[in-house]
Amino acid sequence: MHCPYCEGEMEKGLIQSPHEISWIKGEKRKMLGRARFHKDCVVLSELSFMKGSACVAYHCPTCQKIVIDYIDGKNDLNAKNAD
């Protein structure tokens, strides 16, 4: 993947957590808990109690940016269609 800022080659990696990984709209922290119960949320990786959560992400060390493509949950390692 090429960086959308500098066009350089990005490094493929993972974002991992012992908790669900999600993006929630706004700048205020929400109560902890499953993001799907909040309005305007994107679940990047479902929680697995055995494995934690992980999603594929691309890193540009030049721009210090991380990009996550969450279309159809394809980069969620816990998604039902993941390997």
Dump the DSSP string for 9-65: BPEEEEEEESS-EEEESSSSPPPSS-GGGSSSEEEEE--BTTTBEEEEEEEETTTTE
Determine how β-strand 11-17 pairs with β-strand 53-60.
Answer: antiparallel
In this complex, which beta carbon is closest to Zn ion, that of residue 3 or of residue 44?
3
- Binder among 15, 63, 79, 82 for Zn ion (CB under 5 A): 63
- The 3-22 site mask, x for binding Zn ion (CB under 5 A), equals x-xx-x--------------
Assess 62 for contact with Zn ion (CB under 5 A).
yes
Residues that bind Zn ion (CB under 5 A): 3, 5-6, 8, 60, 62-63
